[in-house]
């Protein structure tokens, strides 16, 4: 199916209604569904939540669009619920966390490959190596706290090894920023940046909510530490977005972003029930896009083609293992650091980051402690032949 | 409702041998095996344990309401009357959760039986440990649903007995004591399993077995504490509750064995 962002009408807003039972359907099977079904669910929940967030901010600063924004947000809320409630209750919070990090890794790797701007592509690979390291740290926690193997979740698609160690992810805030894309950037660049901003926001919020649910002090520390890095990543990706875009421009890009991602999910989904949800929500989002296109034309007196070009969608995120790309990135770029908006060798890192890092790591590094001597082993490290039952 | 059958489980390493080889190759390169040491974790955990405050306190005896007649409070002997109150609070919490767990189990059973599945035989038709039933005989020919409802009613009766006991000792049965808090935290997974629409009756009975084993040990311990605290009058009532719980345990274990031995491949298993 070829989508035309400028012409396809989708489902009219007035017909977008769901009952509580529609929203609370059958969850996926943690055991039998493909890991990438969970990845898509996590990604789309992140986008729905970011769409709500953007609209709430727009509502505060846009008198004329208040009614339309409120109407759009109601259905986005129910879409987010439908998507997020697909995660089964047998996922422990750490298992879901493993799913979040796998999503960050495989989606970021795909976006890094798709991104036409070389500077932004470097920025994607930069944060990719950090989320990749988080997977290793959380896998150690899952093994050592719950006695579970993270591969039950990642299903062989994603390596579980360290990259740029989490202990050095902590930067002074001024070194988290990036140069934003310009107004004339291709649509693909805008959609890439927004997708990962939403994804990181969701991951951050999830860690902030579940961190205090743990009894174990090491788990509480690790979630505190990595939530802080995810907050940096929101700034990292969020600062890619052009700060001169008007709120309605941001909304229009946001709706196109949801269309693009639902269409990519629909094309690649293996679970028929979940696929039907992607199809339905793709039509909903086309309806939202049309509503925002009308707002854009009325309020800004501008042609949406300025942003949406010929109306064709860029190439989709590829939901598959990017093992070779990630390994290559690890070997080439693990030593990269930040100085302001630039990527620099380790020895040229911004001095204020080193001072900041010494302060936060002053009483130890949770991510180093929890993964000390950890090597991922099928069936957990307790299965290692050198671990003997007394 | 579906039976648990062989299928496309994707969690194990054997499902994706080539990918696992690549993962292990990455491990050899980037985090090669060294002797495992969790010493740093242990040290950190212990430092928190040493510095930790308690979960909270056992409530003070309830103040008498204004104008209420003076009631003679039963005196609790022993070094720590508050310990008995704490453990009574724990039993209250667990019996309360237990009643809700049986509500969930009954829903699961009814969903199956309404769909035409004849899943649980009457308890007295099972091969059971008769010695364990010496103190509380099984009713003859009681249908499984009636047995489930009776057990649920007995859990509730135990809850009321415990609440009256706490009140009689001058305590507040509505308060959450530290041990009540702990057993509730431990029970969170039990509730998750019983209320998940995807779990089978056998999987739920397996969890209820944990509940009943805990109930049995809990009542045994409480009877002993009560006796040591000089509350002889309560011992008889608590022993009766323990006899109920022993019967519950035998029935649940019997049903679980029956399902696993005779109904494999059905939606109940």
Query: Are A193 and A123 in contact, with CB atoms under 8 Å apart?
Result: no
DSSP state of A262: H
Three-state DSSP class for residue B61? coil
Minimal CA–CA distance to A124: which of A138, A100, A104, A98?
A104
Residues 169-228 of A with CB under 8 A from B: 215-218, 221
What pLDDT is recorded for position B69?
Answer: 58
Q: Do A375 and B33 make contact, defined as CB atoms within 8 angstroms?
A: yes
ipTM rounded to 2 decimals: 0.93
Using alpha carbons only, what angle is made at residue A170 by residues A164 and A171, rounded to the nearest 5 degrees?
110
pLDDT tens figures, A300-358 = 999 999 999 999 999 999 999 999 999 999 999 999 999 999 999 999 999 999 999 99
What pLDDT is recorded for position B65?
Answer: 61
DSSP state of B175: S
Q: Do A386 and B40 make contact, defined as CB atoms within 8 angstroms?
A: no
Q: For residue A155, what is the nearest residue in chain B, using CA coordinates?
A: B11
Residue count of chain B? 269
φ and ψ at residue A304, rounded to 5 degrees: -60, -20
Three-state DSSP class for residue A339? strand
Residues 6+ apart with CB under 8 A from A324: none
Residues 6+ apart with CB under 8 A from B72: none
In this predicted structure, which of A49-58, A217-226, B72-81 has the lowest mean pLDDT? B72-81
Q: With pLDDT > 70 as the criterion, what percentage of chain B qualifies?
A: 93
Give one DSSP letter per residue of A115-130, joined into a string.
-S-HHHHHHHHHHHHH
Residues 150-189 of B with CB under 8 A from A: 185
What pLDDT is recorded for position B127?
Answer: 87
Q: For residue A368, what is the nearest residue in chain B, using CA coordinates?
A: B40
Please indicate if any CB of chain A lies within 8 Å of the CB of B6. no
Indicate whether A1 pLDDT > 80. no
Q: Do A155 and B11 make contact, defined as CB atoms within 8 angstroms?
A: yes
Residue-wise burial string across B210-246, b where 16 or more C-beta atoms lie within 10 A, e elsewhere: ebbebbbebbeebbebbeebebeebeebbebbbbbbb
Measured in whole angstroms, how far is the alpha carbon of residue B256 from the centre of its chain? 16
Q: Do B38 and A89 make contact, defined as CB atoms within 8 angstroms?
A: no
What pLDDT is recorded for position B61?
Answer: 79
pLDDT tens figures, A87-107 = 999 999 999 999 999 999 999
pLDDT tens figures, B68-127 = 656 555 666 665 788 999 999 999 999 999 999 999 999 999 999 999 888 899 999 998
Q: Do B16 and A156 make contact, defined as CB atoms within 8 angstroms?
A: yes
Mean pLDDT value across chain A: 97
The shortest CB-CB distance from A32 to any of B7, B23, B27 is to: B7
Task: Count CA within 13 A, CB hemisphere, residue A182.
Answer: 4
Please indicate if any CB of chain B lies within 8 Å of the CB of A151. yes
Say how far apart CA A108 and CA A114 lie, in whole Å: 10
Please indicate if any CB of chain A lies within 8 Å of the CB of B34. yes
Query: Are B88 and B237 in contact, with CB atoms under 8 Å apart?
Result: no
Say how far apart CA A77 and CA A288 lie, in whole Å: 13
Say how far apart CA B53 and CA B269 lie, in whole Å: 44
What pLDDT is recorded for position B76?
Answer: 66
Indicate whether A48 pLDDT > 70. yes
Please indicate if any CB of chain B lies within 8 Å of the CB of A369. yes
Query: Are A141 and A219 in contact, with CB atoms under 8 Å apart?
Result: yes
What pLDDT is recorded for position A389?
Answer: 75
For testing the chain A interface, which of B8, B10, B191, B198 should be mutated: the one with the most A CBs within 10 Å? B10
Q: Do B36 and A370 make contact, defined as CB atoms within 8 angstroms?
A: no
Chain pair A-B, CB pairs under 8 angstroms: 107
The shortest CB-CB distance from A381 to any of B12, B36, B48 is to: B36
Please indicate if any CB of chain A lies within 8 Å of the CB of B19. yes
Q: Do A161 and B31 make contact, defined as CB atoms within 8 angstroms?
A: yes
Residues 6+ apart with CB under 8 A from B155: B95, B98, B99, B102
Residues 6+ apart with CB under 8 A from A63: none
Indicate whether B63 pLDDT > 90. no
The shortest CB-CB distance from A31 to any of B9, B23, B37 is to: B9
Q: How far apart are the first and last CA of chain A?
A: 61
pLDDT tens figures, B26-48 = 999 999 999 999 999 999 999 99
Say how far apart CA B162 and CA B92 lie, in whole Å: 6
Q: For residue A164, what is the nearest residue in chain B, using CA coordinates?
A: B30
Q: Do A159 and B8 make contact, defined as CB atoms within 8 angstroms?
A: no
Compute the radius of gyration of chain B from its Cα atoms: 24
The residues pairing with A344 across neighbouring beta strands, listed in sequence order, are A337
Q: For residue A136, what is the nearest residue in chain B, using CA coordinates?
A: B31
- Sign of the CA dihedral running A153, A156, A161, A166: negative
Query: Are A255 and A285 in contact, with CB atoms under 8 Å apart?
Result: yes
CA distances from A81 to A42, A86, A110 (A): 12, 9, 26
Q: Do B29 and A162 make contact, defined as CB atoms within 8 angstroms?
A: no
Residues 6+ apart with CB under 8 A from A204: A227, A230, A231, A233, A234
Say how far apart CA B111 and CA B113 lie, in whole Å: 6
CA distances from B182 to A49, A354, B8, B106 (A): 35, 42, 38, 26
Q: How far apart are the first and last CA of chain B?
A: 10
What pLDDT is recorded for position B74?
Answer: 60
For testing the chain A interface, which of B8, B30, B184 should be mutated: the one with the most A CBs within 10 Å? B30
Q: How far is B46 from chain A (nearest CA, A)?
A: 10
B130 pLDDT band (50/70/90 cuts)?
confident
What pLDDT is recorded for position A319?
Answer: 98
Q: With pLDDT > 70 as the criterion, what percentage of chain A qualifies?
A: 99
Q: What does the pLDDT average to over B164-190?
A: 96
Measured in whole angstroms, how far is the alpha carbon of residue B227 from the centre of its chain? 24
Say how far apart CA B90 and CA A362 lie, in whole Å: 41
What pLDDT is recorded for position B64?
Answer: 64
What pLDDT is recorded for position A37?
Answer: 98
Per the model's pLDDT, the better-predicted residue between B265 and B105 turns out to be B105
Q: Quick one: which H or E segment has residue A233? A: helix A217-238
CA distances from A334 to A124, A131, A162, A165, A338 (A): 13, 12, 10, 9, 12
How is residue A127 written in tokens? Answer: 């944060």
Say how far apart CA A274 and CA A283 lie, in whole Å: 15
How is residue B269 written in tokens? Answer: 């298993």
What pLDDT is recorded for position A139?
Answer: 98
Chain A environment of B29 (Cβ under 8 Å): 161
Residues 6+ apart with CB under 8 A from B190: B97, B101, B207, B210, B211
CB atoms within 10 A of CB A352: 14
Q: What does the pLDDT average to over B5-23?
A: 95
Q: Is B265 exposed, middle or buried (0-12, 13-18, 19+ CB in 10 A)?
A: exposed
Q: How far is A247 from chain B (nearest CA, A)?
A: 43
Q: How far is B265 from chain A (nearest CA, A)?
A: 18
Query: Are A199 and A344 in contact, with CB atoms under 8 Å apart?
Result: no
Q: How far is A376 from chain B (nearest CA, A)?
A: 7
What pLDDT is recorded for position A64?
Answer: 87
Residues 314-353 of A with CB under 8 A from B: 321, 323, 327, 330
What pLDDT is recorded for position B72?
Answer: 52
pLDDT tens figures, A247-280 = 999 999 999 999 999 999 999 999 999 999 999 9
Please indicate if any CB of chain B lies within 8 Å of the CB of A379. yes
Please indicate if any CB of chain B lies within 8 Å of the CB of A99. no
Q: Do B36 and A89 make contact, defined as CB atoms within 8 angstroms?
A: no
Mean pLDDT value across chain B: 92
The residue behind tokens 């630039």 is A342
Indicate whether B62 pLDDT > 80. no
Say how far apart CA A214 and CA A97 lie, in whole Å: 13
The residue behind tokens 């160690």 is A165
């Amino acid at each position: 199916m070829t989508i035309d962002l400028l012409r396809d009408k989708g489902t009219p807003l007035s017909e977008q209604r769901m009952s509580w039972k529609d929203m609370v359907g059958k969850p996926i099977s943690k055991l039998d569904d493909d890991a990438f079904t969970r990845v898509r669910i996590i990604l789309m929940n992140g986008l729905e939540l970011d769409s709500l967030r953007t609209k709430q901010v727009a509502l505060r600063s846009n008198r004329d669009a208040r009614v339309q924004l409120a109407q759009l947000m109601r259905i986005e809320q129910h879409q987010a619920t439908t998507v997020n409630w697909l995660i089964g209750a047998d996922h422990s919070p750490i298992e879901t966390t493993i799913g979040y990090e796998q999503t960050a890794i495989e989606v970021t790797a795909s976006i890094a490959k798709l991104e036409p701007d070389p500077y932004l592509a470097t920025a994607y690979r930069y944060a990719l190596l950090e989320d990749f390291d988080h997977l290793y740290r959380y896998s150690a926690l899952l093994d050592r706290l719950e006695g579970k193997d993270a591969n039950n979740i990642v299903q062989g698609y994603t390596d579980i090894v360290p990259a740029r160690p989490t202990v050095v992810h902590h930067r002074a805030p001024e070194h988290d920023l990036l140069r934003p894309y310009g107004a004339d950037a291709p649509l693909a660049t805008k959609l890439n940046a927004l997708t990962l901003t939403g994804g990181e926001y969701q991951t951050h919020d999830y860690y902030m909510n579940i961190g205090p649910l743990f009894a174990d002090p090491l788990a509480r520390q690790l979630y505190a530490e990595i939530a802080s890095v995810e907050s940096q990543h929101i700034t990292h990706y969020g600062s890619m977005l052009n700060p001169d875009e008007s709120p309605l421009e941001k909304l229009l890009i946001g709706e196109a972003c949801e269309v693009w991602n639902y269409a990519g999910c629909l094309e690649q989904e293996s679970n028929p029930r979940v696929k039907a949800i992607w199809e339905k929500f793709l039509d909903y989002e086309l309806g939202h896009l049309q509503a925002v296109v009308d707002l854009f034309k009325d309020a800004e007196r501008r042609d949406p083609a300025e942003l949406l070009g010929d109306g064709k969608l860029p190439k989709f995120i590829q939901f598959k293992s990017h093992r070779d790309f990630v390994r290559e990135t690890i070997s080439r770029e693990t030593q990269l650091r930040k100085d302001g908006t630039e990527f620099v060798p380790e020895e040229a890192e911004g001095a204020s980051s080193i001072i900041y890092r010494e302060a936060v790591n002053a009483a130890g590094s949770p991510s180093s402690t929890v993964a000390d001597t950890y090597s991922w082993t099928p069936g957990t490290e307790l299965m290692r032949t050198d671990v003997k039952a007394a | 409702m579906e039976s648990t059958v062989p299928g496309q489980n994707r969690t194990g390493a054997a499902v994706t041998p080539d990918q696992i080889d690549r993962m292990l190759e990455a491990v050899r390169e980037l985090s090669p095996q060294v002797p495992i040491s969790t010493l740093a974790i242990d040290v950190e955990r212990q430092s928190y344990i040493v510095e930790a405050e308690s979960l909270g306190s056992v409530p003070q005896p309830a103040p008498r309401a204004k104008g209420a007649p003076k009631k003679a409070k039963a005196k609790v002997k022993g070094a720590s009357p508050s310990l008995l109150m704490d453990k009574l609070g724990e039993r209250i919490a667990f019996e309360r959760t237990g009643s809700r767990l049986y509500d969930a189990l009954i829903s699961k059973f009814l969903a199956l039986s309404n769909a035409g599945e004849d899943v649980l035989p009457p308890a007295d038709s099972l091969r059971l440990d008769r010695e364990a039933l010496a103190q509380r005989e099984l009713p003859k020919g009681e249908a499984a649903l009636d047995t489930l409802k009776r057990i649920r009613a007995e859990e509730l009766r135990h809850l009321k007995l415990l609440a009256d006991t706490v009140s009689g000792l001058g305590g507040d049965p509505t308060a959450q004591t530290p041990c009540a808090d702990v057993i509730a935290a431990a029970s969170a997974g039990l509730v998750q399993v019983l209320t998940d629409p995807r779990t089978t009756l056998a999987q739920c009975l397996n969890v209820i077995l944990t509940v009943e084993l805990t109930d049995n040990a809990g009542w045994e311990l409480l009877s002993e504490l009560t006796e040591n605290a000089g509350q002889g009058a309560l011992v008889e009532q608590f022993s009766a509750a323990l006899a109920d719980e022993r019967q519950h345990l035998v029935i649940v274990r019997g049903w679980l064995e029956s399902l696993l031995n005779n109904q494999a491949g059905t939606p109940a298993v």
